[in-house]
Amino acid sequence: MMAQPDDAPAIRPQGLLDQSAAAWIVLGALLLFTLTMWRFFDAQREDRSHDRFLHQVDNARSALKSRMQAYEQVLNGTAGLFAASAEVSRAEFRRYVESLELDDALPGIQGTGFALMVPGTERLAHEAAVRAEGFPDYRIHPEEARDTYSTILYLEPFEGRNLRAFGYDMYSEPIRREAMNRARDTGRAALSGKVVLVQETEEDVQAGFLIYLPIYRGDAVDDVLSRRALLVGFVYSPFRAHDLMQGVFGDASGTARRDVEIEVYDLEADARNLLFTSRTPDHTPRFTTDRTVEFGGRVWVVRFSSSAQFERDMHRIEPYLVLLAGIVVDILIFAVIYGSVRHRRKMRRAALRLADSRDEFRTLVENVPGVVFRCAPRPPWRILHINKGILDLTGEPPEHFIEGEHPLAEIIHPDDRPRIEETMMSSILAQAPYEAEFRVRSRFGQVHWVSARGQALFDRNGSARWVDGVMLDITERRAAEAAIRQLAFIDPLTQLPNRRFLLDRLRQGLANSDRTRRCGALLFIDLDHFKDVNDTHGHEAGDSVLTEISQRLKHSVREGDTVARLGGDEFIIMLENLGDTAEDATEKAEAIASKVLADLGAPLTVGGHAVTTTPSIGISIFCGQDPGADELLKRADRAMYRAKAAGRNRIAHHTAL
């Protein structure tokens, strides 16, 4: 090697970008940012879950409150029957209650009845009168002597369990008596505490309660004394708590209301006061809250807990996708920076070696890092001089190129060769610098992407003498760019275009339709009951089904049609050039949709199990750019839901409202 001349550029100290620590610092900062974003999205998911839980709680509490108020209105109407008639017969009472159709309108009610207050001195006469009506076994029970009796005189439906209550003196039992006295003194509906109804048998015994509404003689009932003096009896309704709560909240097994588990307590949340529970014993809920429901002068404590189904439904993978995607991108950026550091180090070593040389490459080496070369100004670009960087790029030593064994054109990938030759010849004719990116093949069959730039040197007559240039290996950078594009536009599971890619293609398709005046169609596809596949066979099986469905979709459409995954089990197919009119496009789109319907409906095997998934397909036609990509998606979505509402596994078209 030759000594560096006095005018050779000084070698600057190593900078931060030339140190490996810089790449590790950047990686640490990116990982910290990714972790922060993951925690942020996870916290947002938790907040959304809690808000949805509270929304379900408020809905359930409102449903219970509304149902109890509806029962009160039933009693108010029954009281109105007594107020409108001097005497209500048993037949009239039965017809009135039957006309309400409570089993359909307000399921959960055990019955509607009337209890008559009977002074102790009139008991025997009262029993004799009722027996004369055709009830020879009638008696007021329990039979112990009391100053005042109440007797259940009417109770509809008068059958089954309700027959056991006929003649029962509710006033003899303390909990019922307290509610009856409260109703009598206030003139309002009163709710009793927890009791066991006389209708109960030895099987399926449930907690019960009653609602009482007093009936008075006359209208002068404006104080407690007059109410007590003019009391005739009570219209009331008995309730089996479990049956009632099932009617309000759905099946306790969870088939109707799956978001919340419910416990209802009388007065306070104590096991002795439990009226109803739908709790799953082996499940520890994530969210629990208590709400009070005040009705009929009494307070219920309703404890709501999130169900296992709710927590499974609210479990989302978005935060983990953010974490995974962030880590992947962080590692790619780290790889690019770290590779750049190594590349810069390599270039510095090359610069140090070339700086000691006083040959004709000195100027080129001082100004341009990378694989530097000088070649003939015409194809096949015979190499005149080249540095040792070519060994790393091709595996061939520089001597083989200088000795004429390998021209520059030989190492350029055949597909890129015509383009590079045109670029270099154009730059020579224009006497301007050239710049290009192309692929280089090594002796081992490896392909590297390089960025080449340079310029031809001309003699006095303007003829090109040679071409000087430099090539930089950008393989890692191109790989990182390709990976980033893959993450941005391709669904990682099905390898189909994602929503972002679809919207871009859809806008292009609408523009093409507007230019060519040819109509197209958008098919919105949603798999029917796909959630059952995940619940029955697991999410890995669900992913396998989605992958198979995506392959079937690609084979069901024409070449050039766009198939994309919108998210979850929703897919989009964009069909272009279907006809000159909307009618032609509709006919062809329906034919393709029918083929998709048949292909997707064919059984498939996942994990040794036969699985059948059927699609619901919505079709929206476009001619030109109206109505736009977003509105077109909404129309196809609405058409898809029409297909689901019509019974699933069918096709529906968008129709203007």
The C-alpha atoms of residue 215 and residue 231 are separated, in whole angstroms, by 6
Instruction: Compute the average pLDDT of residues 566-589.
Output: 91
Q: Which residues contact residue 294 at a Cβ distance below 8 angstroms, ignoring those fewer than 6 apart?
A: 300
pLDDT digits 0-9 by tens, 366-416: 455 678 888 888 888 888 888 887 887 888 888 888 877 788 888 888 888
Instruction: Compute the average pLDDT of residues 199-228.
Output: 86
Residue 319 pLDDT grade (very low, low, confident, very high; cuts 50, 70, 90): low
Ordered DSSP codes for 114-125: EEEEEEGGGHHH
The C-alpha atoms of residue 481 and residue 475 are separated, in whole angstroms, by 10
Q: Please name which of 77, 64, 70, 162 lies closest in space to residue 111, comparing C-alpha atoms.
A: 162
Q: What pLDDT is stored for residue 617 in this prediction?
A: 94
Q: Find out whether 175 and 192 touch, Cβ atoms under 8 Å.
A: yes
Q: What pLDDT is stored for residue 1 in this prediction?
A: 35
pLDDT of 141 > 90? The answer is yes
Strand partners, 567: 570
Residue 192 pLDDT grade (very low, low, confident, very high; cuts 50, 70, 90): very high
Question: How does the average pLDDT of the chain come out, rounded?
Answer: 84
Q: What pLDDT is stored for residue 257 in this prediction?
A: 54
Q: What pLDDT is stored for residue 256 in this prediction?
A: 45
Q: Which residues contact residue 642 at a Cβ distance below 8 angstroms, ignoring those fewer than 6 apart?
A: 618, 652
Q: Which residues contact residue 34 at a Cβ distance below 8 angstroms, ignoring those fewer than 6 apart?
A: 322, 323, 326, 327, 330
CA 640 to chain centre: 18
Highest mean pLDDT: which range of 23-27, 41-45, 56-60: 56-60
Q: What pLDDT is stored for residue 656 in this prediction?
A: 58
Residue 16 pLDDT grade (very low, low, confident, very high; cuts 50, 70, 90): low
pLDDT digits 0-9 by tens, 217-263: 877 678 898 999 899 999 999 998 888 888 788 754 444 457 888 99
* Single-letter residue type at 345: R
Q: Find out whether 618 and 652 touch, Cβ atoms under 8 Å.
A: yes
The C-alpha atoms of residue 289 and residue 292 are separated, in whole angstroms, by 10
DSSP class of residue 138?
-
The C-alpha atoms of residue 577 and residue 451 are separated, in whole angstroms, by 40
The C-alpha atoms of residue 41 and residue 52 are separated, in whole angstroms, by 16
- Strand-pair category, 519-527 with 562-567: unpaired
Q: Which residues contact residue 67 at a Cβ distance below 8 angstroms, ignoring those fewer than 6 apart?
A: 106, 108, 244, 247, 248
Q: What pLDDT is stored for residue 40 in this prediction?
A: 80
